[in-house]
Structure 1
Amino acid sequence: MGKRTSIDHQKWWQSIKDHKYIRFALFILIGIITYSLMVTNIIPETLEVSQGTVSDQDIRSPITIENKNETERLRQQAYESVESIYSTKNHYAQNQVERINYIFDTIIHVRKEAQERREEIKQMEAALENEEGKENDQAEEEPIEIPEEITIQQQVEMVKEIISEQITDEISNDTLQTLLESSEDDLVLAKETTTSAINDVMSEDIHQDEVEEARNSAERKVINSTVDPGLYRSMIELARFGITANYLFDEAATEQARGEAMEAVDPIIVREGQLLVEEGQIITSEIYSQLALVGLLDDHSNAFPYIGLGILVILLIGMLAYYLGDAKTSLQKNNTHLLMFTIIYSLTLLIMKLVSLTYMIEVTGITYMVPVAMGTMLITILLHSRVALFTSMVFAIVASVIFNEQSTGIVDYTHGIYVFFSSVAGVFFLSKSNRVIRILQAGLFVGGLNVLVIASFLLLKSGQYGWMEIGLNLGFAALSGFVAAVLTLGLLPFLEAGFGVLSATKLIELSSPNHPLLRKILLEAPGTYHHSVFVANLAEGACESVGANGLLARVGAYYHDLGKTKRPHFFIENQMKIDNPHDKISPQLSKTIIIAHPYDGADLLREYRLPKEIIGIAEQHHGTTLLKYFYHKANQESDKSIPEEEFRYPGPKAQTKEAAIVGIADCVEAAVRSMNKPTPAKIETLVKKIINDRLEDGQFDECDITLKELSIVAKSICETLQGTFHTRIEYPEEVAEKAKEKDNNKEIERRKDEQDKNGGNEKEGD
């Protein structure tokens, strides 16, 4: 069989793969490829049109945007359409009545003051007359100065000083004089009549243009009075003065109503996909402004879409880098696997881009043929299903932009959702098994799910579709799954060989009995071959019981003792009717021969370029365990104590669960084979003892297997062994044959019993 060379064996990659910036460079490369394949889909579309021309195509808006000018125009129109609001000022009547009362009260107050002045003058004059009869010899006294009487004109001026200028401007001096000259009873009557008339008239709404009519009405109400004609005229003047408009313009209410009217006008939105111009329609100034608004008339370069795409790509690649660096998968540290992920990712995006160009063929639904599930199926098989699931979301976002050619906007959600379901379908179907037939079945599963997704879209749109259109959409969706499976099967061998990936397909290939190394074991060490097959059965079931890779454990067990082919007769399973060569050599030499077999096997596996996981199992299945049989034998033959380190395997200890379980199964198989009349109880005791010995010896310190998992492994191995060493009926001839051979095998049984006592670790030494 020819030797395969993966990228890990290429000098150029070996020199850079562990560089501290290589991961950063790979993610930068992923970002550049993603940006490059998406950028042509976000370049703004521009039209060469002018006002008054006839459109040669339907034009739809590429974005959703508010037409602010039109919105403002409609809001201003709504503002102006609201009529002025008037309201009744009920307190105006009371205010006017109080003003009239105040005038009358002022008149009464000034009249009273004038009356008091007259009384004072009379008293002073009387006192002066009484003084004239006194004797002339009395000393002269200062003469008494008698004040002047307050004239009616002065009273008018006093009234005018007390009341406000607004009142004095509208009420004549004659009216004030008449009121001042009237009797108190007439004033009271005039006051009551005038205020009553004002109150009655102003109890009704009085518009600004109805004031004169209201004053005439008040005048008619005053006419019923029986007072002096002069006072009557004064009452009429006061009544007309007291009437004012009480149904006035309400500025606050009007502004509030107009504001509400403006707010009630919804913004004028030009929706994405909205038809702006029909084919054959004349482009008016209004239409032209709408085209300019949505950016279809821009004659200058707009950098915003490019910046927006850059931010989107940075977010996508940043999240991808964080996830791959945090998730516990091989991508966390293995840069070779990261390079392989980069290639699969880029190839998937390139295929999506090529398929997106088929829209120019103008065949309904042809873009649904995109085999994006190929990428996630390859990632699932070669890397990890969790990585594939996360990548499915990235593929969906990228696809929603790449497949926007037939969409009016930047993002086509239909294709994004379709690609997401298609990608995830392949991951779910291959997560538990990825054999070749399973990949083909996954293609059918992906195709079926694609059909359901497209059917749901057609039903949600509630469109009138013809049978031909429906058939094409569903047919291309189904074809996508088939193409994805074919591409996956075609690319898988190249990626496995190029990156040295140990996939299930590769493991199945390595498990073939026709493999040169397995044939070498079978022909040169047949006992070892059968031992390895038994170990493989034990290890596979135990690994699957704890969630480890059972197939890897099986194949690793097939090759774990390959090194015994170098000196097959020094191992007990290959000693058929020959003397044990270890009886003729020293324990130290036996130890050297036996300890060498894991590393001889690893060297041979490396020579044939087998995966490092298989090599690891071959090197690690003994860990640093002690060759007890030869160690005790050496101590018996030596006069001084020999350190255990000289009789221990140099390691390394098991680094993975699979290596640890293969080591347990190897030791258990040898020990159980040497047991005399094994029973379920004996088998269970022996298995637990071997596991506990290895646990106490620290053989599991460098792998992530837990105590609970070790208990599950023990149970699984016991179940497998009990199925093999079950009790059966012994026929007479078998009993006789056994009795005949009993003496011949006595020595062998003794040695096997000794191995049993030593925990089965010395099978190689016999």
Structure 2
Amino acid sequence: MEYWIRRIRTLLSYRLFTLLLLGIVAALTFLLLFSNVRVETYNIRLFSVSEETIRSPKTIIDEQRTEIEQQRAAAEVADIYVFRPEIVDNRTSLIGSIFDFATEFNIDLQQEDNRAASDQVTDDMLEDLKDALSADVSENVTTAIDDHVFEVLLATPDSELENIKNIVLNQIDLTMDSPIKADEITASRNQIENQLLSFSIEENLRQAVTALGQFAIVETNIFDEEQTEAIREQARGAVDPVQILEGQVIVQEGYLIDRDIYRQLEALGLTMNNETITPLLGVLLFSFIVVAVLYFHFSSWNIEEEKKQNYLTLVSMIFLLTLSLMKVTELVRELDLMEIGYIFPVAIASMLIRSMINTRLALVVTILLAASGSIVFNDSLTGSINVEIALYFLFSGLAGILFLSHATRRTHFLRAGLFVGAANVLILFSMLLMENVQYTIMDFLYYFLFASVAGLMASILTIGLLPLFEAGFGILSMMKLVELSNPNHPLLKRILTEAPGTYHHSVMVANLAESACEAIGANGLLARVGCYYHDIGKTKRPHYFIENQMNSQNPHDRLSPEASRDIIISHSLEGAEMLRKYKLPKEFVDIAEQHHGTTLLKFFYYKAKNDGEDVYEEDYRYPGPKPQTKETAVISVADSVEAAVRSMKDPTSEKIKELVHSIVQDRLKDGQFNECDITLKEIETIKRVFCETLNGIFHSRIEYPEFKKEQERKAQA
């Protein structure tokens, strides 16, 4: 896999490779999720018999039913009437004015026969009264009241007219004292007529005043349209929208599809003539969000492009593989297994990425898979989102990340799987209990089994897939590093048997490098194991290196500086070739090539100059390249420091400190750290850790007096 990725990378630029890969991820994500959001339509007709049970795929508001309920609530609101007392005052004032004008225009006849008096009322007198009543008034009473009434009033003497006026006004007040609606006017007019009958009034005059009293009776309890409509609107607003709930049965199999059912199916978009592309757009947008998250995460990651492409390809494969397994698991729901999603081992993605790359990226993928799982395991309701399964997947993935920290053995993965299973059970039970639904013991046992199996399967699948991804992508995980640190590895056995001094030196350098790397946040385990192999090239000619010269003559004394230079420099190049031959990780090859950088072989360089040769400094430098990573930079300094301190006589704390400072400053001035991202602050931390570690190794030992005397006595003997 790594080979093919490298081949594709040579043909495409980083940006084009990234866009192409993310485009593939988006397309496959869309294809895997679309069937879970695509609303299934049915070829059904009105008044036909349903061939299957149809459920609502989503929750919507039934607009028509809601409107009916709102109209019903508004219709139940009674009309609002408002009593207007000013109408009573206006009507009594009007009737009183009629009597007053009649008094002003009547003739003062003293005859007892009113009929005879009325005969003397002239047309001019009647017209004058009517003109006075119709002038400057809002209501022309002369058109509503018969002229005979005015004639009777004009013919009635003033004294009697005043008395009748008081009676009529009192009766009007009594009748209109209670609110009168429009449909109560007739009853009120009959009431005032009956009341006036109880008074002793001449028949002709009674008829006239009765007509005036009935004319005065009008509606006083007025319908308030504005207030009524406001209350009705409030009643409409108080009606909860009628919903068609997700999962609700719209029509049972074998039942008739009537108008109301057909209307609901149309509103849900389940009929053939109501197909919609909105689910397609939704899953398309979701796929874009997934790849956008991955793109921005990798674009902000400050690592070399080759490694970034490698990681992006790996993460994409793990994401798509996990999503595909989700889809396969979701298809098993046809077996009618309750909540099949809870058995899915979603933590495999989190554990794989955490063990091979880092925690941050594992967390990002966990969130993306939790969101995707909420769509895949949507309880067979297309278009819905399963929030419970999303939370379950999220916490399951988080548990896999947390409990897999510093996993170096396969048993650690199994232990993490058990913890993930326990976390699955806890989060699942918490959600079940919050639902406040009565579950049986068998239900809880069923969920417990699913959640536990999911955790165990996650660890087993991670153990099985991890070597495949490591080999395919050249990923160096912590577990792989621990395996490579085994002394039984052929190369380590070779260096131990053929160059034991170099092996001891490598172990000492490993101790220094691991401590320093951990202090600055670099990969300490990579530094340690890389140190075991960094001088493997010395096994080609072990006796040409001082740590392997056990009380024997130094062969360099018999060689020219050029020959010695070639032998010393070749150990890094030959070591890199040996590591490639045994297919060890690229990181180890880089450490072997870079741990000397382009430093100068000072001893042989100055030896050649002292011999009078015309030499160039570049000829006595290692070919490099310079250290590219923090780990390699630390190893390069640790290698020189350990060798220098080991050659010191009576090393003290001050001597060690001065030596470490001198070596580091020499590397800085020589520009050996220019191509890695190590900082001056980190370099100071490295120097401090080196001094502390070396002081612990080469500390002065206390000689007890008795022991010293015994040693001297034995020496004399």
Instruction: Compare CA radii of gyration and give the structure with the larger one.
Output: 1
Alignment check: 8 A CA contact 1:179 1:187 kept: yes
CA spacing shift, 1:10–1:23, aligned 2, 3 Å? closer
C-alpha deviation, 1:714, in angstroms: 2.9
The number of residues matched between the two structures is 698
CA spacing shift, 1:220–1:371, aligned 2, 3 Å? closer
17, 23, 26: which is aligned to 1:22? Answer: 17
Taking the aligned partners of 2:657 and 2:526, their CA distance within structure 1 comes to 25
Taking the aligned partners of 1:452 and 1:271, their CA distance within structure 2 comes to 30
The residue number in structure 1 matching 2:695 is: 722
Tell me the alpha carbon deviations over residues 462-497 of structure 1, each in whole angstroms, 9 at most, x when there is no partner. Answer: 445454444333223222222222222222222222
676, 680, 683: which is aligned to 2:656? Answer: 683
687, 698, 707: which is aligned to 2:680? Answer: 707
The residue number in structure 2 matching 1:421 is: 395
Alignment of 1:458-469 (within 5 A): 458-469=432-443
CA spacing shift, 1:408–1:631, aligned 2, 3 Å? closer
Taking the aligned partners of 1:614 and 1:333, their CA distance within structure 2 comes to 15
CA spacing shift, 1:548–1:360, aligned 2, 3 Å? same
Confirm or deny that 1:412 pairs with 2:386. Answer: yes
Taking the aligned partners of 1:681 and 1:191, their CA distance within structure 2 comes to 131
Confirm or deny that 1:572 pairs with 2:546. Answer: yes
Confirm or deny that 1:668 pairs with 2:641. Answer: yes
Alignment of 1:502-581 (within 5 A): 502-581=476-555
Aligned to 1:41, the other structure's residue is in SS state helix
Identity of aligned residues (%): 42
Q: Which moved more, 1:185-194 or 1:469-478?
A: 185-194
CA spacing shift, 1:231–1:468, aligned 2, 3 Å? closer
Alignment check: 8 A CA contact 1:591 1:627 kept: yes
CA RMSD after TM alignment = 3.9
Tell me the alpha carbon deviations over residues 337-356 of structure 1, each in whole angstroms, 9 at most, x when there is no partner. Answer: 32222222222222222222
CA spacing shift, 1:300–1:215, aligned 2, 3 Å? closer
Aligned to 1:21, the other structure's residue is in SS state helix
Tell me the alpha carbon deviations over residues 403-438 of structure 1, each in whole angstroms, 9 at most, x when there is no partner. Answer: 235457633333333322222222222233343222
User: What amino acid is the match of 2:356?
Assistant: L
CA spacing shift, 1:107–1:587, aligned 2, 3 Å? farther
Taking the aligned partners of 2:715 and 2:555, their CA distance within structure 1 comes to 28
Q: Which moved more, 1:309-318 or 1:584-593?
A: 584-593
The residue number in structure 2 matching 1:78 is: 73
The residue number in structure 1 matching 2:629 is: 656
Alignment check: 8 A CA contact 2:406 2:478 kept: no
Taking the aligned partners of 1:460 and 1:199, their CA distance within structure 2 comes to 69
Taking the aligned partners of 1:87 and 1:365, their CA distance within structure 2 comes to 62
Confirm or deny that 1:378 pairs with 2:352. Answer: yes
Tell me the alpha carbon deviations over residues 502-526 of structure 1, each in whole angstroms, 9 at most, x when there is no partner. Answer: 2223323332333343344334433
C-alpha deviation, 1:392, in angstroms: 0.9
225, 228, 233: which is aligned to 1:259? Answer: 233
User: What amino acid is the match of 1:575?
Assistant: Q
C-alpha deviation, 1:535, in angstroms: 0.3
Alignment check: 8 A CA contact 2:152 2:208 kept: yes
TM-score (norm 2): 0.85
Confirm or deny that 1:437 pairs with 2:411. Answer: yes
Alignment check: 8 A CA contact 1:542 1:717 kept: yes
48, 53, 59: which is aligned to 1:64? Answer: 59
Taking the aligned partners of 2:339 and 2:462, their CA distance within structure 1 comes to 23
C-alpha deviation, 1:548, in angstroms: 1.1
C-alpha deviation, 1:64, in angstroms: 0.8
The residue number in structure 2 matching 1:450 is: 424
The residue number in structure 2 matching 1:622 is: 596
Alignment of 1:139-218 (within 5 A): 152=125, 155-156=128-129, 158-160=131-133, 162-164=135-137, 166-173=140-147, 175-176=149-150, 195-215=169-189
TM-score (norm 1): 0.80
The residue number in structure 2 matching 1:749 is: none
Alignment check: 8 A CA contact 1:369 1:477 kept: yes
C-alpha deviation, 1:187, in angstroms: 7.4
Stretches of structure 2 lacking an aligned partner (at least 5 in a row): 107-121
C-alpha deviation, 1:224, in angstroms: 10
Aligned to 1:87, the other structure's residue is in SS state strand
Aligned to 1:438, the other structure's residue is in SS state helix
Taking the aligned partners of 1:218 and 1:368, their CA distance within structure 2 comes to 84
Q: Which moved more, 1:385-394 or 1:343-352?
A: 343-352
Taking the aligned partners of 1:347 and 1:693, their CA distance within structure 2 comes to 50
Taking the aligned partners of 1:340 and 1:524, their CA distance within structure 2 comes to 39
C-alpha deviation, 1:54, in angstroms: 7.5
Stretches of structure 1 lacking an aligned partner (at least 5 in a row): 1-5, 112-148, 741-766
CA spacing shift, 1:49–1:523, aligned 2, 3 Å? same
C-alpha deviation, 1:358, in angstroms: 2.0
CA spacing shift, 1:643–1:179, aligned 2, 3 Å? farther
C-alpha deviation, 1:649, in angstroms: 4.0
CA spacing shift, 1:720–1:530, aligned 2, 3 Å? same
Aligned to 2:40, the other structure's residue is in SS state coil
CA spacing shift, 1:520–1:315, aligned 2, 3 Å? same
Alignment check: 8 A CA contact 1:621 1:660 kept: yes
9, 34, 45: which is aligned to 2:29? Answer: 34
Alignment check: 8 A CA contact 2:57 2:246 kept: yes
CA spacing shift, 1:12–1:691, aligned 2, 3 Å? closer
C-alpha deviation, 1:296, in angstroms: 4.2
C-alpha deviation, 1:659, in angstroms: 0.8
Alignment check: 8 A CA contact 1:521 1:562 kept: yes
Alignment of 1:210-609 (within 5 A): 210-215=184-189, 237-277=211-251, 286-298=260-272, 301-328=275-302, 334-364=308-338, 366-407=340-381, 410-585=384-559, 587=561, 590-609=564-583
C-alpha deviation, 1:662, in angstroms: 0.7
Taking the aligned partners of 1:66 and 1:506, their CA distance within structure 2 comes to 57
CA spacing shift, 1:102–1:687, aligned 2, 3 Å? farther
Alignment check: 8 A CA contact 1:553 1:662 kept: yes
Taking the aligned partners of 1:9 and 1:86, their CA distance within structure 2 comes to 87
Taking the aligned partners of 1:738 and 1:646, their CA distance within structure 2 comes to 53
Alignment check: 8 A CA contact 1:507 1:551 kept: yes
Taking the aligned partners of 2:710 and 2:201, their CA distance within structure 1 comes to 157
Taking the aligned partners of 1:738 and 1:623, their CA distance within structure 2 comes to 50
